[in-house]
């Protein structure tokens, strides 16, 4: 009888990574009429982060749209070779990163022959150096300490893993400067204090302030020295903190100089942000306020969940003038350094199309209702906690 043109790709997939996805994509590329059955193996003696049914949900939710019709996900708790033989599948798909992987998979393939001689194993080498370092175990280890796992797995997987490991649901709060982000975040944090689930709030302006003023770590002074090398010693005060007014006058008048400053500041800001997220030990909703996540394409850092709070330009200019005591010309320089609303909206729409089940809320700073926003966030938190993707 002719073999089914479906190959079986077995694994524990705890959890599913971009490396696993690459295996499926590449096989389908070289076999245009083929199909892949992703087989989640169940081993009662192996402790897993996610149950088999949860792993199935994560895989099904993150398979790219253009190959979904050629992929099926099943759960199996017996010998894989038996399943392939009994269901007349075309073989077993394996992907190796190095010779150690190959030797291991060769032994497994030989063992499979003892169950069903007719079962073939196809072994394909992974030649992409960026994917060679991806594994489920490294994903879990890095995630545990709030490290950068954006290149390792889909946002749904990253979020599910973070929720399982730490109970943290992280949401960006963004828009232009002086749109009311801090006011919203503080109001939600205050409102949630006596509730079962609290909201905590991290402000990137405060992290920026630490980098310019604090002596807690040698890193901070090193950053200020780099700034002085680029913009002159005039941007440092006599106590070796940053003279922010002088620095702002320089960088907000020039996009090129702002770019130079951000090249110096961005990496340490993200580093400190991750440390602050990791230091929060309770299972809370964490709001991270940062105006430039679209400008710098940083939404990937925390799972693409976004609260977008806006206000009209006249109100924005008024707030900046009152808060920062800037001239009209300085205000315009600041506003012109930020990405347009059209581009922000386009980014969000593309992101929602690319990734399923991302949380997005668009808020008018003049009309929002704190209990309603809190209720919506709690609902999203509970859905994710209960794996209702």
> Could you read off the pLDDT of 240-277 as tens digits, one per residue?
999 998 998 898 888 899 899 999 999 999 999 999 99
pLDDT band at 389 (very low <50, low <70, confident <90, very high): confident
Pick the range with the lowest mean pLDDT from 53-62, 137-146, 198-207. Answer: 137-146
The topology under which CATH files domain 6-138 is: Rossmann fold (3.40.50)
Tally the C-alpha atoms within 13 A of residue 217's C-alpha that lie toward its C-beta.
Answer: 10
pTM: 0.85
Residue, of 276 and 364, whose pLDDT is higher: 276
Residue, of 348 and 25, whose pLDDT is higher: 25
* pLDDT of 232 over the 90 cut: yes
User: What confidence score (pLDDT) does residue 27 get?
Assistant: 92
* pLDDT of 112 over the 70 cut: no
Q: What is the pLDDT of residues 73-108, one digit of tens each?
A: 999 987 888 888 888 888 889 888 777 777 766 777
* Number of CB atoms found within 10 A of residue 309's CB: 23
pLDDT band at 51 (very low <50, low <70, confident <90, very high): very high
User: Under a CB-based contact definition with an 8 Å cutoff, are residues 81 and 118 in contact?
Assistant: no
User: Under a CB-based contact definition with an 8 Å cutoff, are residues 248 and 235 in contact?
Assistant: no
pLDDT band at 161 (very low <50, low <70, confident <90, very high): very high
* pLDDT of 45 over the 60 cut: yes
User: What confidence score (pLDDT) does residue 129 get?
Assistant: 66
The topology under which CATH files domain 167-385 is: Rossmann fold (3.40.50)
* pLDDT of 320 over the 70 cut: no
> In whole numbers, what is the pLDDT of the chain averaged over residues?
86
Tokens standing for residue 314: 């006249």
Residue, of 196 and 370, whose pLDDT is higher: 370
pLDDT band at 117 (very low <50, low <70, confident <90, very high): low
Q: Where in the chain is the domain with CATH 3.40.50.620?
A: 6-138
Residue, of 342 and 47, whose pLDDT is higher: 47
* pLDDT of 128 over the 80 cut: no
Write the CA distances from 99 to 102, 104, 125, 166, integer angstroms.
5, 9, 9, 36
Q: Where in the chain is the domain with CATH 3.40.50.300?
A: 167-385
């Amino acid at each position: 009888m002719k073999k089914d043109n479906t190959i079986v790709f077995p694994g524990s997939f705890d959890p599913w990574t971009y490396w696993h996805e690459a295996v499926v994509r590449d096989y389908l590329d070289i076999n245009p009429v083929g199909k892949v059955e992703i087989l989640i193996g169940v081993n009662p003696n192996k402790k897993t982060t996610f149950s088999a049914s949860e792993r199935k949900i994560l895989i099904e939710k993150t398979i790219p749209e253009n190959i979904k019709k050629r992929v099926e996900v099943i759960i199996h708790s017996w010998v894989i070779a038996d399943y392939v033989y009994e269901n007349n599948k075309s073989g077993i798909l394996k992907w190796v990163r190095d010779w150690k992987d190959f030797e291991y998979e060769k032994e497994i393939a030989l063992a499979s022959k003892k169950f069903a001689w007719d079962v073939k194993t196809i072994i394909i080498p992974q030649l992409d150096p960026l994917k060679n370092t991806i594994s489920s175990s490294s994903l879990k280890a890095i995630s545990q300490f709030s490290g950068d796992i954006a290149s390792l797995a889909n946002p749904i997987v990253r979020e599910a893993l973070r929720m399982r490991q730490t109970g943290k649901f992280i949401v960006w709060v963004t828009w232009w400067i002086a749109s009311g982000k801090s006011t919203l975040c503080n109001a939600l944090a205050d409102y949630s204090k006596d509730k079962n689930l609290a909201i905590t709030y991290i402000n990137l302006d405060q992290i920026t302030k630490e980098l310019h003023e604090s002596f807690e770590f040698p890193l901070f002074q090193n950053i200020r020295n780099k700034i002085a090398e680029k913009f002159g010693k005039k941007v440092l005060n006599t106590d070796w903190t940053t003279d922010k007014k002088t620095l702002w006058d320089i960088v907000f008048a020039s996009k090129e100089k702002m770019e130079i400053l951000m090249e110096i500041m961005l990496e340490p800001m993200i580093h400190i942000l991750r440390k602050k997220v990791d230091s929060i030990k309770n299972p809370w909703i964490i709001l991270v306020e940062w105006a430039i996540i679209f400008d710098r394409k940083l939404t990937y850092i925390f799972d693409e969940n976004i609260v977008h709070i806006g206000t009209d330009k006249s109100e924005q200019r008024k707030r900046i003038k009152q808060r920062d005591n800037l001239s009209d010309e300085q205000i315009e320089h600041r506003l012109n350094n930020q990405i347009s609303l059209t581009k922000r909206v386009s980014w969000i729409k593309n992101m929602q199309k690319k990734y399923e089940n991302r949380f997005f809320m668009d808020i008018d700073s003049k009309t929002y209702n704190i209990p309603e926003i809190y209720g919506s966030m709690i609902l999203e938190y509970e859905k994710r906690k209960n794996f209702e993707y």
